[in-house]
Copies of this chain bind each other. A is one copy, B any other.
Amino acid sequence: MTKIINIKERVLSENDRLAAEIRKKLAARRIVSLNLVSSPGSGKTSLLERTLETLKDRMSLALIAGDVQTENDANRLIKAGGKAVRPIVTGGACHLDARMITRVLDEMDIDRIEILFIENVGNLVCPSGYDLGEDMKVALISTTEGDDKPLKYPAMFRRASAMVINKIDLLGLSDFDIERVKKNALQINGNLRIFETSCRTGAGLESWYEWLKKLVAGKKL
């Protein structure tokens, strides 16, 4: 078992090295980079669709969409007007890693990009361990999941800088308690910036957009 752990550590340190290079590359271009993580079905692609539709004419956005199989998510994002959209099909792997991002970034023209969104594989466990060189992780949770998710998957919520509580239009149709989920999340990570959204109705998205704009403005200071 020791041997396995050592090799796992070596893989992770190689990942960290590549992530540091990505971070440097993005910083040189003052690009805001967000790594979106969640369970399958929390609405990462929907949030990115709405964001693209609303901001694409005002900002220069790029997206990397990871999936285990199919390019469905990337195709939805291209349909929503994304010009700089790149799919990564992991072919079974349960998370993106820095090597995959490096390879895709090498083929993209990112010189004028303001925000790079990375949509990770839908999985609340494995992606938490892999730095992709991003500025921040954004964890999504939907109101149709359990409100104890932050306690059950603490690594993800501890490493995230923001949490988006999505599908608030479905509040009241299950036992999900929005105050409880916020309390649980803040117990794990007191610095979380929290958004409450419905990608279906559009509720709450304005403050998400405002936050993105502030992140971009911050990079230009």
Contact = CB atoms under 8 A, between A and B. Distances in A.
A170 interface: yes
Interface residues of A, number: 39
A77 interface: no
Interface string A137-163: 000001011101101111100000000
Contacts of A173: 169-170, 173
A196 interface: no
Contact of A41 (B68, B123, B142): B142
Interface in A28-55: 39-41, 45
A131 to B, nearest CB: 16
Contacts of A174: 200
Tell me the interface secondary structure of chain A in the complex: loop
A145 B42 CA distance: 7
A92 B169 CA distance: 32
Contact of A68 (B40, B70, B125, B200): B125
Report copies per complex.
2
Contacts of A3: 7
Contacts of A126: 94, 123, 125-126
A153 B69 contact: yes
Q: Which of A40, A148, A153, A155 has the most chain B CB atoms inside 10 A of its CB?
A: A40
Interface of A: 3-4, 7, 11, 39-41, 45, 67-70, 72, 92-94, 121-126, 142, 144-146, 148-149, 151-155, 167, 169-170, 173-174, 200
7 contacts: A68-B153, A68-B154, A69-B153, A70-B151, A94-B94, A94-B123, A121-B125
